[in-house]
C-alpha cells in the first residue's frame, strides 16, 4: 500500500497545471453507452476512478481504449454491442459513481443489473432518487441480492421533481431521458458545472437538452444518439486544492488550465480569510503572503461552497487566527480528516454536523491515515506546512481523484515522495518441478 512522505515548510512557487475533471469524465464515459458509435473524450484525468470506469464498461462488452503517451489524456469508447448490461458488486463497491451506468443501460438496452453501491466513508450514499426517477420514466425496478434490476421496453418522458438535489441523480436521469419517448422535465436539478458538461456532450451526440446548469432541465427524447468528440472541463476541486496549498505554504503559485468561473464560492471565502488571488480567463494566481483570519463555511450544493472543498478548507482554518465553524450539510460523516489533523496539532472539536476549528496552531509531522479522497487531500495540505516529515498511509484514496499529485507538487517546490509499491509485486513464479 503506497504512502506519501512529505517534509513541510517550503512555499509553492511557479505554475501547476490542472487536469480534466474526474466528476465530469465519469458521467461522460457512461454517456458513451447511449450510442453504438464511437465517443472520443479529451482532457481525461489519469486517475484510478477512470481506470475503474473503463473496466466497468469493458466488462459489459464495450471497447474502451485509454490513450497513452502524448494521447494519454484521451479515451475512445465504442459501445457497439453490450452483451452484459451489468455493473458487478466487485466494481461498484470500489466506486459508487458506477451507478451512473443505470440510466444509460436501461435507455439503450432496455434492461440493467447494477449492484447497489453500499455506503462509503463519508455517508450512506443511497440511490433512491435515481430509482424513483427511472420508475417515473416507466422502468420496472426490482431489488434482490444487493442488485437493482431495471427493465423498460422504451422509457417514456415524464415530469420529475427531485426530493433532494443530487448530482449523479441528475446526471443519471438526464442520460436516460435523452432516449425516452417524448419530453422529460427534470426539476430541482443539481447545477454543478459537471452536469452542464455532460449535457454539452449529450447535445453533441444529438440529444435535445435545454437548461442544464439551472434547476430545471428539459429534454426532448430522440430515437438514437450518434458518436461525438468532447473535451472535459477542468477539475475545479483539484484547482481549489492547489489554491489552498499555495495559500497555506505562503507561496506564489499560478494554477493554470482551470476555470475561475467555477470557483466563485471558494475564492470569495478565501478572500474573506485574507488569501490574495488574481484570476485570468483560465488561471488563478495565489499570493499567500498574508496572515489568515478565521471564517465560517457551510457546504451547499453548487454554486454554494462545495462539500468536496470542506476538508481542504479545514486544513487552512487550522492556520487562521480565531475560531472557524465548518458546517457540513451534504454528507453525514465527512469529518474523518479532523482527528488526523488533531494528531498533527490542530484544535478541532466535532459537534454533529459542525466542526469548530480554533487557530492558529502550529502543525507537527505525524504518521496519519487517509480515509477518503478529499480527506487525503486535507492531510497533504497540512503536511506541507507541518514541522518535520509526515507519512500519509493509504494514498490509494488520493489516487482516485488527483492525477500524479506528488509530481505536480514536487514541480512547484514541495518535498514529497511516494514510497511502497505502486502496483503489488507479482507473486514469484512457482519453482519449476
Taking the complex as a whole, the smallest distance from the CB of residue 196 to ligand EPZ amounts, in Å, to 13
Taking the complex as a whole, the smallest distance from the CB of residue 395 to ligand EPZ amounts, in Å, to 15
Asked if residues 208 and 183 have their Cβ atoms less than 8 Å apart, the reply is no
Which segments of 123-243 are extended strands (E)?
Answer: 140-144, 147-151, 159-161, 183-187, 208-210, 217-220, 228-231
Which residue's CB is nearer to ligand EPZ, number 327 or number 415? 327
Asked if residues 229 and 42 have their Cβ atoms less than 8 Å apart, the reply is yes
Which residue's CB is nearer to ligand EPZ, number 227 or number 397? 397
Q: Which positions touch ligand EPZ (CB under 6 A)?
A: 23, 26, 97, 123-130, 164, 166-169, 190, 307-308, 330-331, 373-374, 401
Q: Is 120 a catalytic residue?
A: yes
Distance, CA of 408 to CA of 405 (rounded, Å): 5
Taking the complex as a whole, the smallest distance from the CB of residue 2 to ligand EPZ amounts, in Å, to 19
Which residue's CB is nearer to ligand EPZ, number 73 or number 130? 130
Distance, CA of 64 to CA of 188 (rounded, Å): 33
Which residue's CB is nearer to ligand EPZ, number 73 or number 374? 374
Name residues whose C-beta falls within 8 Å of residue 131's C-beta, 6 or more positions apart in sequence.
Answer: 141, 148, 150
Asked if residues 431 and 29 have their Cβ atoms less than 8 Å apart, the reply is no
What letter does residue 429 receive in the DSSP assignment?
A: P
Distance, CA of 171 to CA of 177 (rounded, Å): 10
In angstroms, the Cα distances linking 403 to 1, 59, 149, 228 are: 17, 24, 34, 25
Taking the complex as a whole, the smallest distance from the CB of residue 334 to ligand EPZ amounts, in Å, to 8
Which residue's CB is nearer to ligand EPZ, number 44 or number 363? 44
Q: What is the side-by-side order of every strand in the sheet holding 283-287?
A: 13-17, 252-256, 283-287, 276-279
Taking the complex as a whole, the smallest distance from the CB of residue 122 to ligand EPZ amounts, in Å, to 6
28, 79, 120, 189: which is the annotated catalytic residue? 120
Strands 217-220, 183-187: parallel, antiparallel or unpaired by DSSP? Answer: antiparallel
Active site (catalytic) residues:
120
Amino acid at each position: 500500500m503506497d504512502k506519501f512522505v512529505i517534509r513541510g515548510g517550503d512555499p509553492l512557487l511557479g505554475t501547476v497545471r490542472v487536469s480534466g475533471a474526474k466528476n465530469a469524465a465519469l458521467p461522460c464515459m457512461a454517456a458513451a453507452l447511449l450510442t453504438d458509435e464511437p465517443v472520443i473524450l479529451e482532457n481525461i484525468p489519469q486517475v484510478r476512478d477512470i481506470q475503474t470506469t473503463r473496466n466497468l464498461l469493458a466488462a459489459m462488452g464495450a471497447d474502451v481504449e485509454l490513450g497513452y503517451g502524448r494521447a494519454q489524456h484521451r479515451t475512445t469508447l465504442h459501445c457497439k454491442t453490450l452483451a452484459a448490461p451489468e455493473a458487478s458488486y466487485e466494481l461498484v463497491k470500489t466506486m459508487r459513481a458506477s451507478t451512473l451506468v443505470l440510466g444509460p443501460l436501461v435507455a439503450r438496452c432496455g434492461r440493467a443489473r447494477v449492484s447497489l453501491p453500499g455506503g462509503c466513508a463519508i455517508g450512506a450514499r443511497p440511490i433512491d432518487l435515481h430509482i424513483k426517477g427511472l420508475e417515473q420514466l416507466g422502468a420496472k425496478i426490482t431489488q434482490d441480492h444487493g442488485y437493482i434490476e431495471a427493465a423498460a421496453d422504451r422509457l417514456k418522458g415524464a415530469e420529475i421533481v427531485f426530493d433532494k438535489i443530487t448530482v449523479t441523480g441528475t446526471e443519471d436521469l438526464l442520460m436516460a431521458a435523452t432516449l425516452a419517448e417524448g419530453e422529460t422535465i427534470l426539476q430541482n436539478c443539481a447545477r454543478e458545472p459537471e452536469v452542464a458538461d455532460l449535457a454539452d456532450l449529450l447535445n453533441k451526440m444529438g440529444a435535445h437538452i435545454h437548461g442544464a446548469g439551472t434547476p430545471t432541465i428539459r429534454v426532448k427524447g430522440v430515437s438514437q444518439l450518434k458518436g461525438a468528440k468532447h473535451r472535459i472541463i477542468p477539475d475545479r476541486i483539484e484547482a481549489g486544492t492547489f489554491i489552498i496549498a499555495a495559500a497555506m505554504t505562503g507561496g506564489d503559485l499560478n494554477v493554470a488550465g482551470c476555470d475561475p468561473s467555477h470557483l466563485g464560492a471558494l475564492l470569495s471565502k478565501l478572500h474573506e480569510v485574507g488569501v490574495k488571488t488574481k484570476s485570468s480567463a483560465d488561471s488563478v494566481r495565489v499570493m499567500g503572503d498574508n496572515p489568515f483570519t478565521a471564517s465560517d463555511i457551510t457546504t451547499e450544493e453548487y454554486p454554494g461552497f462545495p462539500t468536496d472543498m470542506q476538508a481542504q478548507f479545514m486544513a487552512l482554518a487550522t492556520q487562521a487566527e480565531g475560531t472557524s465553524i465548518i458546517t457540513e450539510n451534504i454528507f453525514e460523516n465527512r469529518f474523518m480528516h479532523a482527528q488526523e489533523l488533531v494528531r498533527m496539532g490542530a484544535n478541532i472539536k466535532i459537534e454533529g454536523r459542525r466542526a469548530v476549528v480554533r487557530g492558529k496552531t502550529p502543525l507537527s509531522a505525524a504518521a496519519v491515515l487517509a480515509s477518503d479522497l478529499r480527506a487525503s487531500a486535507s492531510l497533504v495540505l497540512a503536511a506541507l506546512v507541518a514541522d518535520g516529515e509526515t507519512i500519509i498511509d493509504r494514498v490509494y484514496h488520493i489516487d482516485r481523484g488527483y492525477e500524479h499529485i506528488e509530481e505536480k507538487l514536487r514541480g512547484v517546490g514541495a518535498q514529497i515522495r511516494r514510497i511502497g509499491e505502486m502496483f503489488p509485486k507479482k507473486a514469484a513464479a512457482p519453482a519449476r518441478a
